[in-house]
Amino acid sequence: MAEGVPAGWGAPVYAKLDAALAAACMGVNAVKGIEIGEGFGAARLEGSENRDGMERSGIDGGISTGRPIVVRAGFKPTSSIGIKGRHDPCVAIRGAPVIAAMVALVLADHKLLHRAQCG
């Protein structure tokens, strides 16, 4: 969860904040799924049920709203436990701080982009 992100970072088309977060997190080894905000839960709803608006969502239309941004990553279980050598039985333990770091890097990048565009 990223708190304190000001409203207005990102863009509605080419520099979407949620797309940048998803791309960065998907670049982490063993990550097979990324959920931002309500994510997969929202995808299961009908349109009439999914009207959260900016009061609950940290990102709306690719732009930060000022609300906390929640990112969840799904990791593929390792399949190499029986092989000799150093193999971790659970990458999620080490993966969580890596995801947090990737989120921080994307937010830092978007802070600089916002400053360059808006002064």
119 residues of the chain, pLDDT tens digit each: 999 999 999 999 998 999 999 999 999 988 999 999 888 888 888 877 776 665 678 999 999 999 999 999 999 877 765 666 666 667 778 889 999 999 999 999 999 999 998 88
Q: Identify whether 56 is part of a domain.
A: yes
CB of 63 closer than 8 Å to CB of 10: yes
Q: Identify whether 7 is part of a domain.
A: no
Q: Identify whether 10 is part of a domain.
A: no
Handedness of CA 110, 111, 112, 113 (dihedral sign): positive
Q: Identify whether 104 is part of a domain.
A: yes
Range of 32's domain? 17-118
Q: Identify whether 91 is part of a domain.
A: yes
Report the C-alpha dihedral over residues 106, 108, 109, 113, rounded to 10 degrees. Answer: 130
Instruction: State the pLDDT at residue 87.
Output: 62
How many domains are contained in the chain? 1
Instruction: State the pLDDT at residue 112.
Output: 96
Instruction: State the pLDDT at residue 45.
Output: 83
Distance between alpha carbon 114 and the CA centroid of its chain, in Å? 18
Instruction: State the pLDDT at residue 30.
Output: 87
pTM equals 0.86
Q: Identify whether 1 is part of a domain.
A: no
Q: Indicate the burial class of 66 (C-beta count within 10 angstroms; 0-12, 13-18, 19 or more).
A: middle
Instruction: State the pLDDT at residue 119.
Output: 80
Instruction: State the pLDDT at residue 39.
Output: 84
User: Measuring CA to CA, which residue among 99, 45, 103, 49 is closest to residue 74?
Assistant: 99
